[in-house]
Amino acid sequence: MKRCFDIVFSAAVIAVAFVPSLILCAAIAIESPGCPLYRQKRVGRIGADGQPREFTMWKFRSMVKGADKMKDALLAENEVEGPMFKMKDDPRVTRIGRFIRKHSIDEFPQFLNVLVGDMSVVGPRPPLPREVAQYDEWAMQRLAVKPGLTGPWQVGGRSDVDFDDMVRLDLGYIARRSVAMDLKIILQTITVVFTGKGAA
């Protein structure tokens, strides 16, 4: 049932957002030359062999071209405890990028990931491989299910939540997940998208 919902819901969002997405892509490219879409290796659920599976996740580009190469110089400015990197006034973020990040619009291309089965609409957010390399056994449990486009971290505070609290939220979701809970998180996500609450 969850997979059927993922397919129908993501296909509907892609159809509705297709033309606005083209306009946004043009605006991103005009402000900051380069491909308006950004792809990044992320870690999904743990496979049958016990190893985390990687996949390519898509976003609207919210930073200047080459932002990944600039990250090492900013690590000392990390504002979150643990393996994650978050910086409120990240100098790599463009003007359009600040807006689409605040309202989570940069995540919309991930509906393609949901459609092909890399992700689910609701689940723990997919981490970077270098973050997973720092996980202990407790944190690895959040990789027990398919990652989501939105999840308890997205509606529970986003950048206001530190790493340990994010893991607790994810493990709580995994233990109690249901169709009703997924629908509740989706409705809460819509509110977060409009308000931008908790965005970095």
| Amino acid 146: pLDDT | 95
| Amino acid 158: pLDDT | 63
Place of tokens 């490219």: 29
| Amino acid 159: pLDDT | 62
In whole angstroms, how far apart are CA 130 and each of 14, 41, 153, 169? 30, 10, 20, 21
Residue whose C-alpha is closest to residue 93's, from 144, 149, 38, 161: 38
Tokens of 153: 């971290």
Q: What stretches in the chain show pLDDT beneath 50?
A: none
Residue type, 104: S
Measured distance CA(131)–CA(114) in Å, rounded: 22
φ, ψ of residue 111 in degrees (nearest 5):
-65, -25
| Amino acid 87: pLDDT | 66
| Amino acid 197: pLDDT | 65
